[in-house]
Amino acid sequence: MRRRLLPLLPLLLVGSACSVDGIQSVGGRDGQGGAAIADLFGIFLVATLLFAAVVAAFLGAAALRRRGRRADGIEDPEGSGTERPLKTGLIVWIAAVAIGLFGLTLASHLTDRSMARALPDPASALRIEIVANQWWWDVRYHFRDPSRDVRTANELHLPAGVPAHVTLKSNDVIHSFWVPNLAGKQDLIPGRITDLMLIPRKTGVYRGQCAEFCGMQHAHMALDVTVEPREAFERWRAHNAAPAVPPTNALTRAGYDYFTTRECSTCHAIAGTPASGQVAPDLTHFASRRSIAAGTLPMSRGHIYAWIADPQGPKPGNAMPYIGLEADELHAVAAYLESLK
Amino acid sequence: MTVLSGKDLPRDGEMLQGVALHARLEATWRREPGFWGWLTTVDHKDVARRYIVTALIFLALGGVLALAMRLQLAKPENALMGPDRYNQIFTMHGTTMMFLFAVPVMEAMSVFLVPLMIGTRAISFPRLNAFSYWVYLSGGLLLWVAFVLNVGPDVGWFAYPPLAGPEYGTGKRADVWAQMVTFTEVAALCISVEIVATILKQRAPGMTLARMPVFVWVSLVVSLMVIFSMPAVTLASGFLLSDRLVGTHFFNPFEHGDALLWQHLFWFFGHPEVYIIFLPGAGFVSEIVATFSRRPVFAYPAVVLAVVAIGLLAFGLWVHHMFATGLPRLGYSFFTAASMAVAIPSGIQIFCWIATMWSGRPRFEVPMLWVVGFIVTFVLGGITGVMLASVPLDLQLHDTYFVVAHFHYVLIGGAVFPLLGAFAYWFPKFTGRMMGDGLGRLSFWITFVGFHLTFAPMHWTGVMGMPRRVYTYPVGMGWDQLNLLSTAGAFVLATGVLLFLVNAAVSIARGRVSGPNPWDAAGLEWATSSPPPPYNFAHIPVVSSASPLWDNRHHLPVMTGLRVDDRELLLTTVMEAKPDLREPSPEPTIWPLVAAAATGGTFVASIFTPWAVVIGAVPVAAALTFWFWPKVAPTPEPVAE
C-alpha cells in the first residue's frame, strides 16, 4: 500500500520531491528513520488532500448552486427539502473524518513503534556523546578501549549501515539536535540526558542544525555530517584519535608557541600539546573539518584568517573574544591551525 | 434618606415610551461630558471600541516587525540587521500578535457584541471592564517602550528557561516579557469573568441556552477557557520572575529545578490560547454565514457542541509542542490522538457552514468573501495540523518553517480572516455607517493572494530543512527563492491589510448611513440603532426563537418595567432565562483608571525590586477601597412580571 502511493508523491509535492537531494531536508531517505518518516508523510499528504478536495468541491458547489437568485425572504430550512439529506451528509462526513483520522493515527503510531522496534540494542551500536553549548557541538566517540576514543567538534563522521547511539546533553540552554536526512530531531536539555539512534543508509555529506531557539547565534549552530564506508570511517577515527601533528617549520612553530602560551589555550584544547582548555571546541584536527565555528564559515585559509582576526564579525555574540593579534602573530597562528589536518 | 416604594419610581412602559423614554434613559446611562467622561466611562461599547482600536494599532506594529523580518530573510547572509535586533523583533512580533492583538481583539468583540446580542443594557462588572482596558494598555506600553529603548525581550514569545532565566537571559529583557504577560493575564481574566456573568445572568427573557447566538456560545466557552488556562501561565511567569528577581530555582536544573516544568505550564496555557483565538473566528463565521445565506445556521446543536468539544480538547494536547523533548514515547500517542481528534469538531463546523450556504441563498457580500477565504485557508492549515499531530512527522517538521506556515494558516486564515469579515459585517453597528464595498472587495483579494504568496512557500522551506527563528541562513541551501517569494508576498499581504484599514477610516467619515439592520440579520444586536445608544435598548426584548428578528419581522415583543432614573438591569435565570432579579449597574468612575495605574506601577517596579509588591499594595488597596465605596443603600425590590 505504502509503496504504491509513493510514485504519487512527486506529482503532489514537487518541491519536496526536489528536496530529496538537499543536504538538510526532511524528504531525505538517507537514514532509516528519515525514510520511514518520508513514507508516513506521503500517506498523510494523500489522505488529507483527499479530504481537502471534498471540502473544496462542496464549498464550490454550495457557492454556485443558487447563485444569482436574489430574494429578500428568509429560507425555511424545514420546508426546502434539503435539510434531511444534509443531515445524513453530516453524519457520513463525521464518520469519514473519524475513520480517516483513526487510520492516520494508527499509521503514525505503527510507524513510531516499528521505528522504535527496528532500533538495535544501544550496547551494540557506535557510542557517541554530543554536548551542546552556546553555539557549538562538542562531540565524543566512546569505545570499549578508551585509547580509541575521539573528541571533535561541530562534525560527525558515521560509518554507513552502522547504527550510532547518540547521547545528548546540554551545558547551558535548551538546544535541539537535528540532521533531517538521517532522523527526526531531539532536544538537548540541561539537567537531562536524552538520546537518539542514527542509522545512516547512504554515504554522503549532510548538514544538521540546532532546531530550538538557543539565543543570539541560534542561526549559526550547524553540524557537518559525513557518512562514509566503514573503512574510510575507521581511517578517520584512527587519524582523529591520534594527537595533533607537531609544527614542521618556523612559521607553524611560532603559531604553536603563541597558541600554547597565550590566550588561545585558556579555552581550546589540542591533544598532544599543553593547550588543554575545555570550554571551547577541541582543535586537534581542526583543519580536517569542513567548516569553522559550527558551520558559520567554510574551511579555507582566508576564513581561518578572518575568524581569528575578528571572531565577532561573522558570528556576533559568540564566546570567542577579539584578541587583536599583530600581523606576524596572525600569520603564525593561522598557519599552525591550517597545519592541524 | 427615604426608601421609595416601587410605585413611585419612573419606569419604561406604557406611561413612558418614545422620545420621552429615550431622553430619560440617555440622561441616566450617558457618560459624563468631555475628556473626563472619556476617562471615566464604563459603557461596554466605549471600552470595546478603544480595545479594538488599540489592538489594531498593535496589529499594525506587529505587521511592520513581520515586514522587517521578511526583508532580513529576503536573501541569504543578509546584513540588514544583526542577531540581537532580529531576535528582539521576532520575539516582539509573536508576543505582540498573540498577547496584544489576537486575544484582546477577540475579547473586545465579545465585550461589544455579547450584551447587544443577548439584549441587556450593560455588561456585568462594567468598572472591571474599564479597569481591564487600562491594564492591557499599560502592558502593551511597557513592552513597546522597552523595545524602543532597546531592552525589548529577545527570548521568543515562549521564553523557555534557562535561556530566559537569570543566567542566560541577562538584563531586564526577559523580565519585561514576563511582566507584560502578567498585565495581559489580568486584563483577560477580568473580561472573561464579565462575559461569563453577563451571558449566564443577563440574557433577555426567553433566550434559553439553546436560543443563544453561536457567537455568544463561543464567547462563553472561550471565557471559561481563559479562566482555566491563564492561571497556568500566571504561575509560570510568576515562577520565572521570582527565579530572576529573588533567586528561586524553579527552572534551574542544577538546583533541583526543572527546565521542562516551564514548557508544561506554558503550553497548558499556550495551546488553549490558540483556540481562544480561533473559536471567536468560528463564532463570527457562524453569524455571517447565517445572515448572508438567509437561513439560520445548519445543525445549530452540532455547531455548538463542536465549539464546546474544541474547548475541552484544547486542554488535552499541550504535549504536542514537546514531542522532541524526550518524554516517554508511549504517552505521546495519547496526545497524538487528542490533537487529531480536534479535526472532528472542526470538520463538523466546516460542514455545517457550507451546508448553510448550500441550502440557503448565499449572497457574496464582503463579509462572505472573508468567510470563503477563511474556509479555504483554514482547511489547508488543518491538514498541516493533522500532520504535526503525528509524532514521527512532528519530530521532523517541528520548529521548521513548515510550522510557521501551519500556524499562520490557522491563525490568520482561521482567526484574522473571520475577524476582518466580522469588522465588515458589524462595522455599521460599531459606527453607524457601511464600509465601502469596492475597496472592501479589493482589500479582500489582495490580502488573500498576499497571504498565500507569503505562507504557502514556507511549507516547502520547512520541508527543505530551514529552522525557525534564525536571523540568517547560508547560501546554497535551496531556500533563497522561496524566501524571496515569501518576502514579496508579505508586502502584498500588508498592502491588503492597509487597504482594509484605509477603507475603515474613510468609511467612518464618509460611509453610507446604515440604519439599524442593514443586512436584514436575525440577531438582537440589529434590533437597536447603529451605533446603539448608551443603554442599548429602550425596552428589553423578549425572545421566543433563535432568530428573533426573522421570526418577529414586524414587531419584536418587549418587556417593560425597568427603572429609568437609575442604571437598572434585568437578571434572568441561567438555563431558561426567566426574569429573576433587578440589579443596579455601576456608575462611571475614575477609580478603575487609578487602580490600573497603581497596579501597573507595582508590576513595572517589581521588575526592579521585590519590595515594589509590598509598597505598591498600598495605593492599589486605596484605589480599590474608593472604587467599591458604597454610595447609596440599594432598594430591594421584587421583580414584577
- pLDDT, tens only, B280-295: 999 999 999 999 999 9
Tens of pLDDT along A272-302?
999 999 999 999 999 999 999 999 999 999 9
CA torsion, points A114, A115, A116, A117, in degrees to nearest 10? 50
What are the Cα distances from residue B634, in Å, to B49, B582, B588? 31, 11, 17
Question: What is the mean pLDDT of the segment spanning A76-101?
Answer: 88
> What residues in chain B have per-residue pLDDT under 50?
1-5, 640-641
CATH pick for A123-231 out of 2.60.40.420, 2.40.50.140, 2.40.70.10, 3.40.50.2300: 2.60.40.420
- Residue to substitute from A40, A55, A182, interface B, most B β-carbons within 10 A: A55
pLDDT at A90 over 90: yes
CA distance A121 to chain B (A): 17
* Residue-level pLDDT at B11: 86
- Nearest CB neighbour to B326, from listed A16, A24, A192: A192
Among B248, B306, B298, B261, which residue's Cα sits nearest to residue B279? Answer: B306
| A79 band by pLDDT with thresholds 50, 70 and 90 | low
Instruction: Report the distance separating Cα B273 and Cα B226, nearest Å.
Output: 8
Closest-CA residue in chain A for B357? A62
The DSSP 8-state label assigned to residue A149 in this structure reads -
| Same fold? A123-231, A250-339 | yes
Burial of A123 (0-12, 13-18, 19+ CB in 10 A): exposed
* Residue-level pLDDT at A59: 95
Among B452, B428, B408, which residue's Cα sits nearest to residue B366? Answer: B428
Number of domains composing chain B: 1
Count other Cβ atoms within 10 Å, centred on residue A314: 16
Among B143, B162, B149, which residue's Cα sits nearest to residue B91? Answer: B143
Half-sphere exposure of A220 (CA within 13 A, CB side): 23
Annotate A276-286 with b (16+ C-beta within 10 A) or e (fewer): ebeebbbbbbb
* Residue-level pLDDT at B368: 96
* Residue-level pLDDT at B637: 58
> By three-state DSSP, how is residue B407 classified?
helix
The answer to whether the CB atoms of A105 and B325 lie below 8 A apart is no
pLDDT at A259 over 70: yes
CA distance B559 to chain A (A): 26
Annotated domain spans of chain A: 2-62+83-118, 123-231, 250-339
What are the Cα distances from residue B53, in Å, to A299, B50, B429? 53, 5, 15
Which chain A residues contact residue B473 at CB under 8 A? Answer: 219
Asked if residue B303 belongs to a domain, the reply is yes
- Nearest CB neighbour to A36, from listed B379, B392, B472: B392
The DSSP 8-state label assigned to residue B410 in this structure reads I
The answer to whether the CB atoms of A211 and B390 lie below 8 A apart is no
Count other Cβ atoms within 10 Å, centred on residue B292: 24
pLDDT at A23 over 90: no
The DSSP 8-state label assigned to residue A196 in this structure reads E
In words, the CATH class of domain A250-339 is: mainly beta
The DSSP 8-state label assigned to residue B433 in this structure reads B
- CATH, residue B312: 1.20.210.10
* Residue-level pLDDT at B541: 96
* Residue-level pLDDT at A21: 66
* Residue-level pLDDT at A246: 94
- Nearest CB neighbour to B344, from listed A76, A98, A186: A98
Question: What is the mean pLDDT of the segment spanning A205-220?
Answer: 96
- Nearest CB neighbour to B396, from listed A184, A195, A210: A184
- Nearest CB neighbour to A174, from listed B82, B163, B477: B163
The DSSP 8-state label assigned to residue A276 in this structure reads B
pLDDT at A16 over 60: no
Instruction: Report the distance separating Cα A234 and Cα A129, nearest Å.
Output: 18
* Residue-level pLDDT at B15: 81
The answer to whether the CB atoms of B359 and A22 lie below 8 A apart is no
Per-window interface: B 365-404 vs A, CB < 8 A = 372, 375-376, 379-380, 383, 386-387, 389-400, 402
Q: Which residue is it, cell 504557502?
A: B456
Structural domain containing residue B501:
6-589
The answer to whether the CB atoms of B358 and A51 lie below 8 A apart is no
For the whole model, what pTM was predicted? 0.94
Q: ipTM for the complex?
A: 0.93
Question: What is the mean pLDDT of the segment spanning A328-337?
Answer: 96
Q: At a CB cut-off of 8 Å and minimum separation 6, what does A77 contact?
A: A83, B295, B296, B298, B359
Tens of pLDDT along B447-484?
999 999 999 999 999 999 999 999 999 998 999 999 99
Total number of residues shown for chain B: 641
**Contact B146/B173 with Cβ under 8 angstroms?**
yes
- Cell numbers at B171, concatenated: 538584563
* Residue-level pLDDT at A35: 77
* Residue-level pLDDT at A1: 35
* Residue-level pLDDT at B374: 97
Asked if residue B502 belongs to a domain, the reply is yes
Which chain B residues contact residue A107 at CB under 8 A? Answer: 390
A79 in B contact zone (CB under 8 Å) = no
